[in-house]
Structure 1
């Protein structure tokens, strides 16, 4: 593996995106770069480099030098790595607390389930993409009070998701709740961002999380649909589970709320992204 490719991969392990890693590695080669210069040096599309530089600056891995033509420089590698490690430690701490709470919440359900004569009568297993898409649409259509979802790529359902738009409008009209947490990948995809804004117009509340553990939707505090990617099959292979179990659904509602409370709104995330442009 080429040295820069290896270094970029290591930086990605520490939490940077591929573009962020490549831009940082370019910035350390010289004292100051303009955005156009670093885009060429890092081989990153010009229209993307401003967002990448804004992200590095916000994470205190790069420094903006204002002027007629703004310049950017990298912070020292040892400082950058320390800051990335600290961010990982904070994230791991949050996940450890969440996992401890989740295990404690799930244990009574698991224990009571040991005596159940047919433990799978409330679980559906779906492997076909069309079946997964249809079941997801039905969950949204049948929701009566609340829909909470973790949304992250890759997406299987049709991009228009008419069932979801109808559910958002219906729940808003009844002063009920439809909320989605997206990963920050949403901000880098104009097509998906446009779809998300249509959902906001329809009545959905959206926030942006740094990362999400899986894709899922919790309906009415009683039904959960979650995506379980196959760790050994081809990349696009996945299995979806639909679980009708109020205790599990309530536990995942708590997990959703914990991440929701820490995440910026879509408007805030978009403002942060464009602030340095």
Structure 2
């Protein structure tokens, strides 16, 4: 991965040079402007402007004196602040839309299409993150790895997580699935489906239309019930249990 994992910090308003400096402070510890320049490879004349920008954005702290010393604000501190801002903004936006919406609510059973593998994975992650009670899903290895880091947080929040993995997931990786997940395995081609809170369902068609990457997404009760029925009898029931919580007997899926 190297520097690639840090490139996504651009989504938080950081320039390439700012990312380089923040990376240096995270990996090498507190440093002076002169020391940071040597490691990061950013232009010397811009160093103070870059550090000032990072400080204003909440990514670095500074000690002033004969020499300025900068340190990185821990990643979890920065991200927690951004997540709080996003949660507040999302609530404000939802409230505003609810108050000012002018369209007539849809009453027909609409099936929505999500196009593009990255968009499908982002929608899965959003569904998992938005869950309040229950997440039941069957995922390919690629999609599981994409959302796996948020599962411990959801389990800690008391959300039931049921997961089916397929034979594209190495057997040794099954043991690394977070504790608290009800994990099953089926020896077959991945067929992705995600059901959240018995309210939303996504089924990944994996190139079934025009050889493209599509998924269907719906919230309509009757169609959701039909897909849930299909998921249970075609994927969940034939799968074998791999691991489950100690109090599994009290779970209801």
TM range (shorter): 0.3 to 0.5
Q: Which of structures 1 and 2 has the larger relative contact order (alpha carbons within 8 angstroms, sep 6+)? A: 1
TM-score computed with the length of structure 2 as normaliser: 0.46
TM-score computed with the length of structure 1 as normaliser: 0.42
Q: Which structure has the highest helix share of the two?
A: 1
| Structure ID, larger Rg | 2
